[in-house]
Amino acid sequence: MIGFTTKAMNFEALSERVEQRLCELGHLLSGQFPMTQREVIRGGKVVGVYFCVHGPRSVKMTAICDFKKDQIIFYGSDGIRKESTPMKFKTPLAA
């Protein structure tokens, strides 16, 4: 779970931010398509989160939140890296 990472963050805000940007990159309406999330584990520790928006006609827009580098990497439906932005979520987790 995200709560076991060394950095505290508002996961809900992170998830919304990632979904909104992925939908912008894919020219999709935000909130209209399901988004899945999976933990990225290396050496038994959670080092990031993988997000995937499942659009129409099997289109998938993905992003990786890398906790070690404090950045979010966005990928297009073709699997090519589109952009990366710094994570700015240093606020405590919402209870």
3-state secondary structure of 89: coil
Q: Identify which has the larger pLDDT, 40 or 1.
A: 40
Cα–Cα distance list, 73 to 1, 12, 70, 79 (Å): 20, 18, 10, 11
pLDDT on residue 94: 38
Give residue-wise pLDDT tens across range 51-94. Answer: 999 999 989 999 999 999 999 999 999 999 999 999 875 433 33
pLDDT cut 90: percent of the chain above it: 71
Confidence of residue 45 (pLDDT cuts 50, 70, 90): very high
Residue 25: pLDDT over 50 = yes
Within a 13 Å sphere around the CA of 28, how many CA atoms are in the beta-carbon half? 23
